[in-house]
Amino acid sequence: MLVIVAPGQGAQSSGFLKPWLEDPSFAARLEWLSTVAGLDLAHYGTEADDETIRDTAIAQPLLVGAGLVAALSLYPHPADAFGMVGAVAGHSVGELTAAAGARAISAEQAMVLVRERGRAMADAAATTPTGMTAVLGGDREEVLARLAEHGLVAANDNGPGQVVAAGTLEQLAALAADPPAKARLMPLKVAGAFHTGHMEPAVARLERLARSVSVHDPRTAVISNRDGRVVHDGRDVLARIIGQIARPVRWDLCLETMTDLGVTGLLEMPPAGTLAAIAKRQLPGVETFALKTPDQLDDARAFCEKHGEASRIETTPTWRMVVAPAKGTFHLADAARDVAVLPAGTVIGEIASLRERIGVPAAHGGQVVEWLVEDGDLVSPGQPLLRLHPEASL
């Protein structure tokens, strides 16, 4: 199975778009997204220095725009991707890239949202001097305990030996003076304590905008940063992306879900390298491909052919799917047993794993066409459970 991932803020570097912009089609598409974002992304991706593109309001649209246009270079006919890509995921702001790639939102909607996300997060960061520091190595429990002692948040949990602390500059200074044993600290070049409560004003701003965004159920499995679950309701995809602005990124749980899905190949969109490197360490046996320059496109397509398989999630105007959010045992709910029509939001059952029990709602409701699972069956993330025919009266 193939998973395509999109990196988050900090992956960008000066001039990373230069080779891509030699392609007139790439340049034209980026110009369109630049117009939507109100930023000259070509300039920032070729001529601006590292300090300039560190600015949150610039970095975030630059990353999403680059990822979306590179995806079109990889799959000039986007429908082809749905017969090959098993799942998508994005790290932090990369979730917007992933959501647009899965067709939960349009590229233009993603660019408007990332433009406002970057501005709102920059404004929130300007309120109090805050920052982020990578904590590399050390005992996981000791690292998390030390962060808690200093009032810091594990804003990014990327797996064993890769935790990012976030908080005020004073709190980070205290951590630097009293680091966990056998851990190395690396201050990050970001403008604030992202994915913490310091970003709540940005969440409120994006939630207001999201009320006017039309969404669709994704055409492939979307793995959420919040908890690693597969999300198939377009409204939930967008709500999670917005809420994640002030919540920790659980990339470690995303990696666990990739294992549960049976991922064999992971391709990272540009500016690539960070997530592919994490996957090499955390997903033994999974082949990785970091797409950095356009001269790699033929090799990237061959990589996709090698690992690709059709998405199990199919959504059309005539019927909808309810899918499993996680791996575990499916337990059918009495409210859904022997029922011909399900009201929207009905919980059809639970997925029981070693860690938790997860309710599975039929977000859209409708007429039951076909159960694809039985009570007590083991299921995997993204596995279709129920096919429904939408009913306008529900």
Q: Are residues 294 and 382 in the same domain?
A: no
Looking at every residue in the chain, the average pLDDT score rounds to 93
Domain assignment present for 315: no
Give the pairing of strands 328-332 and 378-379: antiparallel
202 & 101 share domain: yes
Q: Is residue 245 part of a domain?
A: yes
Q: CA torsion, points 70, 75, 76, 82, in degrees to nearest 10? A: -130
Q: What is the CATH number of the domain that holds 371?
A: 2.40.50.100
Q: Are both 384 and 331 inside the same structural domain?
A: yes
The answer as to whether 141 is a domain residue is yes
Predicted local confidence at residue 393, as pLDDT: 44
Co-location of 54 and 169 in the same domain? no
Residue 62 lies in a domain: yes
CA–CA gap between residue 258 and residue 110 (Å, rounded)? 24
185 token code pair: 């600290």
Tokens of 308: 């690709």
Residue ranges making up the domain that contains 136: 126-187
Residue 180 sits in the same domain as residue 226: no
13 and 97 together in one domain: yes
Query: Residue 269 pLDDT more than 60?
Result: yes
Q: What is the mean pLDDT of residues 93-100?
A: 97
**pLDDT range class, residue 76, cuts 50, 70, 90:** confident
Within 10 A of 170 (CB to CB), how many other CB atoms are there?
A: 12
Q: Which pLDDT does position 394 carry in this prediction? A: 39
Residue 271 confidence (pLDDT) above 60: yes
In this structure, are 56 and 22 located in the same domain? Answer: yes
Model pLDDT for residues 313-359, shown as the tens digit of each residue: 755 556 788 999 999 999 999 999 999 999 999 999 999 998 899 99
Listed residues 307, 334, 366: the one ending a domain: 307
* Domain stop point among 141, 164, 187: 187
Task: State residue 390's pLDDT score.
Answer: 81
Residues 41, 56 within the same domain: yes
- Statement to judge: residues 111 and 153 lie in one domain: no
Looking at residue 314, its pLDDT comes to 59
Single residue among 252, 278, 307 that ends a domain in this structure: 307
The reported pLDDT for the residue numbered 392 is 58
- Is position 394 within any domain? no
CA dist 163 and 204 (Å) reads: 26
Residues 295 and 223 placed together within one structural domain of the fold: yes
CATH of residue 172's domain is 3.30.70.250
CA-only gyration radius of the chain, Å: 21
Residue 4 has pLDDT above 60, yes or no: yes
Q: Are 312 and 382 in contact (CB under 8 A)?
A: yes
Q: How many domains does the chain have?
A: 3
Q: Is residue 40 part of a domain?
A: yes
Tell me: do 279 and 210 sit in the same domain: yes
Could you list the active site residues?
92, 195
Identify whether residues 71 and 106 lie together within a single domain. Answer: yes
Percent of the chain with pLDDT over 70: 98
Give the pLDDT confidence of 107-138 residue by residue, as tens digits. Answer: 999 999 999 999 999 999 999 999 999 999 99
CATH number of the domain that residue 266 is part of = 3.40.366.10
